Each structure stands twice: as structure tokens, then as C-alpha cells.
Amino acid sequence: MTRPPKRTIAPIFWLLFGAGGMLSALFGTGLVIVTGFLLPASPPSYQAAAAILHNPLAGLVALATIPLFFWHGAERLFLTLKDMRAGPRPLLALISYGAAAVGTLVTILLIFLMEFGS
Amino acid sequence: MSERRPYVRRQSRLWWASRTYRGYTLRELSGVGVAVYGAVLLAGLDSVRRGPDAYAAFVGWLSTPVAIVLHLVLLAAMLLHGLTWFQTLPKTMPRLIVGGQAVPQKTITNAAIGLAMLCSLALVIGALS
């Protein structure tokens, strides 16, 4: 008799890892050039920056992008620390996935405040 | 009592820092760089939410040597991440058959890197215009 394989929630983390990895592989280089080098070279006025970010579409893009970047890094960090035998597995998962979860909640809260706040 | 005494090869605790595994370690760290950049984006977004003074402070910070070095490192991480990501891509997807022939892995990698260059270039051109 063959038992069905034990179910795990690992695919959820892999999905987030893959989505964040693909998004950053496609757009990451351009994003860093824009926000890290072009923006300080000729910064847009506050009104212009606020107008862009208060657009709900920009809020949605940021809401997708930033947490996915966090989850991508978290998965990489977790698997690498595990391979490095840096500590017990639950602790490593707590550190990496925990940081991504907190980052995601903060992102959701800040974007909510920006789009719907005073 | 079991007689089994399997041979377990010794491994240095710092195996990941050795030359053999340098590529692996840098690739994995590039993924952590992606998350660090996510935090930079979030800080910038929050500065706009907090008002003109916070926004000016964030833009001012971007011009400091620390921020410039950080962004150079993040740029290198993004480039390494993109390159290794698309090198992995053809190994993680089903074989692509075109005209009865399997598309070589290198072709898929190159096509995806070309697409990524277009995507990033579109962002830069959009920001400049």
C-alpha cells in the first residue's frame, strides 16, 4: 500500500519565491537604476512624486512588488542558512519567513494609509 | 545494537566561503539583495506618505556615499540575480518543442535575458521621459 505523500506548505513559499524572482529578474536592474541613480540626480518635486504614488494603480504595483521581493529574499536566506547549518531549522524559518511576513504587513499598512489616509 | 557505521565525509563549517561554492553563495546572496532593495523602495514610498520634509530627507540620503555604494552593490546583485535566474529557467520548465525540435537551453536563457533588458530599459526610458 502506498501512502499519499505528506502535505506541506512549502509550495506556497516556492510560489512567492518564484514570483518575486521573476519580477526582480525582469525589472530589478531598471528599478535600481531609476530609484538609486536617476532619482537623486534629478529628483521630481514632492507634488509630482505624491501624484504618482497616490494613484491606486501605483499602490497596487507597489503592493505586489515590495512583498514579493521580501519573500524572494526570505526563501533564499532560509535555504542558504539551512545549507550553512547556521541553526535549528524552525529558528531559521522564523527569522527569514518572519521578517518577510512583518515586511509584508508593514507594506500593506503603509500603502493603505497612503491611498486612503488623510 | 547496529553494526552500521556509515562514513560521513567531513565538511568545513565555512564550506560556503570556499572557492568551489563561491558562485552558489553569491547567487543566494543576490536574492537577499532583492529583499534589501524592497526595503529601500518601502522607505521611499513611506517618505512620500509622510510629507515633503521626509521626501526631501529620503532624496538627500540617496545622494550620500553610503546610499550610492549600497545601490551599486544592489545593481550588481540584480544583474547577477537576473543572469542566474534565467540560466535556471530552462532547467525548471517543461522542454519547449518547436517544429519537432527541443529548443536549446541557451536559446531560452538568451531570449529571457533579452526580454529582461527590454523591461528594464522601458523603465529607464519611462523615467527619463
pLDDT of residue A3: 82
Q: How confident is the model at residue A1 (pLDDT cuts 50, 70, 90)?
A: low
pLDDT of residue A118: 56
Per-residue DSSP letter, A37:
I
A113 contacts on B by Cβ (under 8 Å): 49
pLDDT of residue B117: 97
Task: Judge contact between A73 and A103, C-beta under 8 A.
Answer: no
Residue B98 clears pLDDT 60, i.e. is over it: yes
* pTM recorded for the entire structure: 0.91
B117-121's contacts with Cβ under 8 Å and 24+ in sequence apart are B119/A26, B119/A27, B119/A30, B120/A26, B120/A27, B120/A28, B120/A29, B120/A30, B120/A31, B120/A33, B121/A30
For A64-106, what is each residue's pLDDT tens digit?
A: 999 999 999 999 999 999 999 889 999 999 999 999 999 999 9
Which class in CATH covers the domain with range B15-128? mainly alpha
Interface mutation vs chain B, best among A31, A77, A111, most B CBs within 10 Å = A31
Q: Which residue has the cell 521581493?
A: A69
Mean pLDDT (chain B, rounded) = 94
Residue A116 clears pLDDT 90, i.e. is over it: no
pLDDT of residue B88: 95
Q: Is A80 on the interface with B (CB under 8 A)?
A: yes
Per residue, the 3-state secondary structure of chain B, as one string, reads CCCCCCCCCCCCCCHHHCHHHHHHHHHHHHHHHHHHHHHHHHHHHHHHHHCHHHHHHHHHHHCCHHHHHHHHHHHHHHHHHHHHHHHHHHHHCCCCEECCEECCHHHHHHHHHHHHHHHHHHHHHHHHC
pLDDT of residue A64: 94
Q: Chain A 33-52, CB below 8 Å of chain B: which residues?
A: 33-40, 43, 46, 49-50
For B2-53, what is each residue's pLDDT tens digit?
A: 788 999 888 888 999 999 999 999 999 999 999 999 999 999 999 999 999 9
Of B28, B62, B119, the CB nearest to A30: B119
Task: Judge contact between A18 and B34, C-beta under 8 A.
Answer: no
Amino acid at A23: L
Q: How confident is the model at residue A5 (pLDDT cuts 50, 70, 90)?
A: confident
Mean pLDDT (chain A, rounded) = 93
pLDDT of residue B83: 97
pLDDT of residue A6: 85
